[in-house]
Amino acid sequence: MGNSSAHRWEHYYTPETVAEAVDLLQRYDGQARVVGGGTDLLVEIRRGLHRPVDALVDASRIAGLNTIEEDGDNIVIGCGVTHSQIIRDSRIIKYGTCLSESCGVIGGPQVRNVGTLAGNVAHALPAGDGTIGLLALGGEIEIASVDGTRWIPMQESFKGPGKSFINRHREVLTRLRFRRTGTREGSAHHRVMRPQGLCLPIISMAVRVQLHDNNTIKKARISMGPVGPVPFLAESAMEVLVGAKVSAGQFNKAAEAALASVTLRSSKYRASTEYREQMVRTYLPAILARAVEQAMGVSP
């Protein structure tokens, strides 16, 4: 598949094992690129936004990496798993609700049927939807290279807009995992974007909360984007919540703390700073309330 003039690559490989994939990348010595569903990369290559590559190495067909598995308390997602698979998975709907919700708003069905969560994370956009969902859950990623495999917290992979510490010419993001939400835990995601649908989000946010039996907040994680060069963990807002009693007033305080820790940009085509701020004030408390309802067993 592929020819250099129309597609700007010479060879397209579909390795069946991780070892085969990293060997191919090694053989091309920086002149090959990993591809998943291709919904970002192939569009960008065709538009001339990437330097031409000699080869594409497709990570989405590696045997055993197109399934969602449980490993103890973790849910493990292979790099070939598409957004459509994630949103249909009953375990992720229940135990990783914000991930299911965030993958559910990506593109349309055609994009979700081929686009992968691994590609979303490896692309490293500040507001990739699946990325924001998985970040709130405390997601980790496994990276394979000729030197072996290692797991890292996903936030350590983000270098800048579209820039990843994963060397996408030499390494493969093979699996993603998160600890499933358990007793008195819940999560939720919300994205605001212009109604045309296909443009970039105005703001995307996800939360994971855990409650003590007396309804004070034991743990909280809040992810947001785009609020800077990389997907953002709103630590100061998380601190406002931990130890506090669940209340609408406390959720509002968390939203203010989140706003105080970021600089929201005004963009002519997307939204003004003031509008974005208003969206955080409206929807961050709303998703906190939804996650808390789930933690209390009020919603599924």
Ligand X SMILES: Cc1cc2nc3c(=O)[nH]c(=O)nc-3n(C[C@H](O)[C@H](O)[C@H](O)COP(=O)(O)OP(=O)(O)OC[C@H]3O[C@@H](n4cnc5c(N)ncnc54)[C@H](O)[C@@H]3O)c2cc1C
Q: How far apart are CA 185 and CA 209, in angstroms?
A: 6
Contact 13, 24 (CB under 8 A): yes
Q: Which helix (H) or strand (E) holds 62?
A: none
Residues 20-49 that bind ligand X (CB under 6 A): 33-41, 43
Q: CA 69, CA 295: separation in Å to the nearest integer?
A: 23
Cα–Cα distances (Å) from 102 to 11, 75, 123, 138, 207, in that order, read 33, 16, 16, 15, 11
146-185 mask for ligand X (x: CB under 6 A)? --------------------x-x---xx------------
Sole binder of ligand X in the list 122, 234, 238, 255 (CB under 6 A): 122
β-strands 148-153, 140-145 pairing: antiparallel
Of 145 and 216, nearer to ligand X (C-beta) is 145
Nearer to ligand X, 38 or 285 (CB): 38
Query: Residue 77 CA to chain centroid, in angstroms?
Result: 12
- For ligand X, which is the closer residue by CB, 22 or 264? 22
Residues 6+ apart with CB under 8 A from 36: 58, 59, 60, 79, 80, 115, 116, 118, 119, 122
Name the residue nearer to ligand X (CB basis): 40 or 185. 40
Site string for ligand X, 221-260 (x = CB under 6 A): ----------------------------------------
The mark string for 127-146 relative to ligand X (x by CB under 6 A, - otherwise) is -xxx----------------
122: Cα within 13 Å, side-chain hemisphere: 31
Site string (192-221) toward ligand X, x via CB under 6 A = ------x-----------------------
- DSSP 8-state class, residue 116: B
Closest approach of Cβ 95 to ligand X, in Å? Answer: 21
Instruction: Single out the residue of 106, 154, 176, 258 in contact with ligand X (rule: CB under 6 A).
Output: 106
- Residue 156 is classified by DSSP as G
Q: Which is nearer to ligand X, 184 or 189 (CB)?
A: 189
- Residues lying near ligand X in the complex (CB under 6 A) are found at 33-41, 43, 59, 79, 105-107, 111, 115-116, 118-120, 122-123, 128-130, 166, 168, 172-173, 198
